[in-house]
Structure 1
Amino acid sequence: MDIPLQLSPDFCGPPTRVDTTQRPLVTLKTLLSDRALTVKRPRQQPPSLIFSLPAEMIAEIFLQATAEDQDADAIRIPMHFHFVLSQVCGLWRAVAIHTPSLWSRVVLHLGARTSGFGGITTLARTCFERSCELPLALIITSSVTNADTIPNLSMDLVLPVRHRIRHLELRLPVVLTESIFKLPKNSLKALRSISVYAIVSADPASWFRSMSGLEGAPHLDRVKLACVHAPGSLIQWRTIDLRFDPYVARLPWAQLTDLHLQDLELRCDDAIYALEMATSLVRCALEVRMFEPLAPVIAFTVPPGQDAPAPPAPPKPKPPVTLPALLALDLAISGWPSAPADFFDRMILPSLKDLSIKYKDRQPLPCATLTALQTRSSFSLERFLLASRTGDTLLPFLQANPLLSRVQLVFCALELTPLAEGLTRVARTPGLGILPCLRALALTDRWTEEAPHATWARATKAVVEMARSRWRVHGDAAGARLVGFTFGSQMGLSAKKAERMERFRAEGMRLRIVPILAERAHLRRADYLGMNLWADED
């Protein structure tokens, strides 16, 4: 039987131990071989069906009940549900305590806690003991912004079990998260994934640098590093240096399959260098910042009698970067608006299926840049999102990717009429035209045809016809049906056209009409991007 436990009055974690005598290891099978736990009950109490279930099935029910993480804002006691299960009856306690996998995921949501960390440490150690030697997933989150008010739990809890941690997730002030990276190179031998959300309330002296603790993790393949601005801090209203430098980060680039760098300043050259080293990437999300090139040197007049200096040799073209396994690329681009092609012109992505490009400010991206990328790589996309872009039509690029099933074009400075007519499927003509596999489409913008009224009437008629042709598929043109459609504009649809669209909704199409305000707040609003369409499963 497990060591008896005693609850403290201000319980903020697991009970404290009252007996430290070394006991032999008791397994769930040997514990329940004595049927005393299941047969000793009052005579007047009717038998419960729970006692007829095998212990292994009860353990599986416990695992399913605790699989989803609890709300970090609502919960006051970390791992509360785990300990509730172990205090219902003797049978449940035996099953819960002697199921190591139930305690192998330790989630400590601390909220704004600034005291009572002794109970938290005891709770974590109890979970570590009950998980035996199974690999651990350790999640520590806090909303405290001042690192001086809380201890360095990331070190206090990680160090004793560093050789067992498989997944590590931290949401702590930046000073506390960076201490993990200073561990010796061979400390995290079992680590496979790490997610760090560093809370920044002032200018950090350093930012994700010298990651010696991660460099020596032989199985690490998923890394997510993000900046979280402290609520109400002045840092949200001014620019600070949060540059991520891959030259000094010392990540195990060659073995990474998932890389996410968000809310960090990753310069274009640094992003290309990181991708050049991480050739095994499968999914990648980066925030790339462009900088204006330096002004050319002014040539002075050569004095008489002196030879003019030889003109400098043209710079050699930089070699392309090939990522043979990359399936999903998510880019958020900001900075200098005149050279967004500097990044794409270096890429060769033969396996790319999902491409997302979001500009923080409207920047030009010619269709020729995307078609050149597709020609070099010979990929065929299945999902495509483009937001806050200016340029020419995108129909040639869409036509070059016939397997596209989900397309989102948000504030891309396109003309609505040719776009809608290009996406219209004519049922009686041979073939299905472009995008025969299209199932979800989002078109949201301030369209140039919204004035005068006659022009907007033609444009919306083309939109309705496009939706009709892709929803009501007949005859030999039985391709994919457009099951989700989001349309956003300032003028909206006329009553007659809106009624026709409502018929499609009544027939099963998931339709969303989004009014675009003159003063849009942010491009990443769910209504504008139509993010509900991405939840669609094929």
Structure 2
Amino acid sequence: MFADLADAKSARAAARTRITELDVEIESLQRLLEARLHEREECREELGSYKYPILTLPPEITSEIFIHFVPAYSERSPLVGPDSPAHLARICRAWRTVALSTPTLWSAIELRLNDADSFEHRLQLLKTWLTRSGGFSLSIALLCYDIEISAAAFVEAIVFHASRWQEIELKLPYEDLRHVTGIMPLLRTLSVHVGPNLELDAKAPVAAPAVIFTQAPNLKEVVLSGYFNPFCITLLWSQITKLTARLYETEAITILRDAAALEECCLTLFCQLRSPISPIPPLPRLRSLVLSASSTWRTAGPIHLPALTLPALESIQVFEPFLGADPVATLSTIRPHGYPRRIVISVAQFSSDTTTPYQVYTAAFPEATVHIELED
């Protein structure tokens, strides 16, 4: 019994000694911790006082650097993704302030709609970008790749700013394209890819045009593709100087009759069996002409286009069957005085028709650069 009491007394004494030792150790650790905390605070203060060189630049210089991050206007930045200027606004508070106060970062937009996912989020992003662009002119591409998706809300969002459009590219179902309206005083370049018209035949006349671009006095360049129908879209062709389009030949001729200001023209034509067509009035300013054939026309055999009078023509690239039975004679009459300085004759890759030999062209046009190439 006495032995047990002695052991207990010894254990208590050992515990008291250990507590004393631990108190000393804890006090030492606390002093070390306080020293480390103080050192950490000093490091934080030092970091806080450090000025990163990029952050010492005046805001206008930083803004200029940001402008070089995005493609040169009027090339467009994607609304989302690593190349979007929105990334600049996520680096730090200072950069965000500069980015949001630089309207040109947000004035060229490309939005691709592939499916209905995140539509509401992307619509809000689009509206935010348009607001951030301030009063600057706009370059916009709205590209819808699914005809079953309605892009009407996106069209309405950009149409609200139509007065600031400078370059616009639209790839839309016909039903959504009809929402494009407004006065467009700055618009100079228009690209339209028309989706299928689900309400009427793509080539049938309608009572009134559904899309009108007649309030765009500075519009000069036009690109047309898809299910374009001149009866459904109205343009002031008399002011257009550059045209790229995929058309039926009667549509092309209808346009060319009114396009006296054309300087450059690139047409891909579809075969269409129609009655003979009267000549086109002279196009006095046209310097460059490209006439290629769709795959449907390449198998249709020679078809002579209406007579063309192009007194200023410098370069022509043409699918040889368009020139009729005597291509050299046709080329000789296109330009009343002299002939183009550059002539490219395209032939069908698997055509069984005999093409005019290269030597015949070079002999007829000795001062011209002549090439013969296969139609893609």
- State the TM-score, normalizing by the size of structure 2: 0.72
CA distance in 2, matches of 1:161, 1:381: 44
Residue number among 64, 68, 71 corresponding to 1:64 in the alignment: 68
CA distance in 2, matches of 1:320, 1:174: 30
Matches within 5 A, 1:180-219: 180=180, 183=181, 187-200=183-196, 205-206=201-202, 210=209, 212-219=211-218
Is 1:118 the equivalent of 2:82?
Answer: no
CA distance in 2, matches of 1:211, 1:327: 32
CA distance in 2, matches of 1:139, 1:78: 16
Identity %: 21
2:104 match: 101
Deviation at 1:105, TM superposition (A): 0.9
Q: State the secondary structure of the residue aligned to 1:341.
A: coil
Deviation at 1:215, TM superposition (A): 1.9
Matches within 5 A, 1:365-376: 366-374=326-334, 376=336
Aligned partner letter, 1:108? L
Residue number among 238, 245, 258 corresponding to 1:254 in the alignment: 238
Deviation at 1:341, TM superposition (A): 3.0
Relative to structure 1, the CA distance from residue 135 to residue 218 in structure 2 (aligned partners, 3 Å threshold; closer, same or farther) is same
Matches within 5 A, 1:402-481: 402-404=367-369, 407-411=370-374
CA distance in 2, matches of 1:86, 1:71: 15
Matches within 5 A, 1:322-337: 322-333=282-293, 334=297, 337=300
Structure 2: gaps (5+ residues): 1-43
Query: Over residues 385-416 of structure 1, what are the superposed CA-to-partner deviations in whole Å (9 max), with x where a residue is unaligned?
Result: 52327432243433526252xx54224xxxxx
Relative to structure 1, the CA distance from residue 293 to residue 132 in structure 2 (aligned partners, 3 Å threshold; closer, same or farther) is closer
- Larger RCO of the pair (alpha carbons < 8 Å, separation 6+): 2
Is 1:49 the equivalent of 2:48?
Answer: no
Aligned partner letter, 1:146? E
Q: How many residues align?
A: 319
1:350 match: 311
Higher helix share: 2
Q: State the secondary structure of the residue aligned to 1:250.
A: strand
Deviation at 1:70, TM superposition (A): 7.8
Relative to structure 1, the CA distance from residue 342 to residue 401 in structure 2 (aligned partners, 3 Å threshold; closer, same or farther) is same
Aligned partner letter, 2:263? V
2:36 match: none
Deviation at 1:188, TM superposition (A): 2.5
Aligned partner letter, 1:127? W
Is 1:382 the equivalent of 2:342?
Answer: yes
1:220 match: 219
1:276 match: 257
1:517 match: none
Aligned partner letter, 1:97? L
Question: Contact (CA 8 Å) 2:193, 2:225: kept in 1 or not?
Answer: yes
Relative to structure 1, the CA distance from residue 219 to residue 401 in structure 2 (aligned partners, 3 Å threshold; closer, same or farther) is farther
- State the TM-score, normalizing by the size of structure 1: 0.52
Question: Contact (CA 8 Å) 1:96, 1:102: kept in 2 or not?
Answer: yes
CA distance in 1, matches of 2:179, 2:147: 16
Aligned partner letter, 1:92? W
Q: Which has the larger radius of gyration?
A: 2
Deviation at 1:157, TM superposition (A): 1.5
Structure 1: gaps (5+ residues): 1-40, 228-241, 295-314, 412-522, 525-538
Query: Over residues 284-326 of structure 1, what are the superposed CA-to-partner deviations in whole Å (9 max), with x where a residue is unaligned?
Result: 12233455566xxxxxxxxxxxxxxxxxxxx9x9555222221
Query: Over residues 343-393 of structure 1, what are the superposed CA-to-partner deviations in whole Å (9 max), with x where a residue is unaligned?
Result: 3xx21222223322237x999653323442355253432362523274322
2:8 match: none
Query: Over residues 31-72 of structure 1, what are the superposed CA-to-partner deviations in whole Å (9 max), with x where a residue is unaligned?
Result: xxxxxxxxxx96237543323444333222222221176897
Question: Contact (CA 8 Å) 2:144, 2:151: kept in 1 or not?
Answer: no
CA distance in 1, matches of 2:87, 2:51: 22
Relative to structure 1, the CA distance from residue 154 to residue 194 in structure 2 (aligned partners, 3 Å threshold; closer, same or farther) is farther
CA distance in 2, matches of 1:260, 1:93: 40
CA RMSD in angstroms, aligned pairs only: 3.5
Aligned partner letter, 2:362? L
CA distance in 1, matches of 2:77, 2:162: 26
Query: Over residues 164-215 of structure 1, what are the superposed CA-to-partner deviations in whole Å (9 max), with x where a residue is unaligned?
Result: 11211112223222432xx3xx533332221112344979634697155202
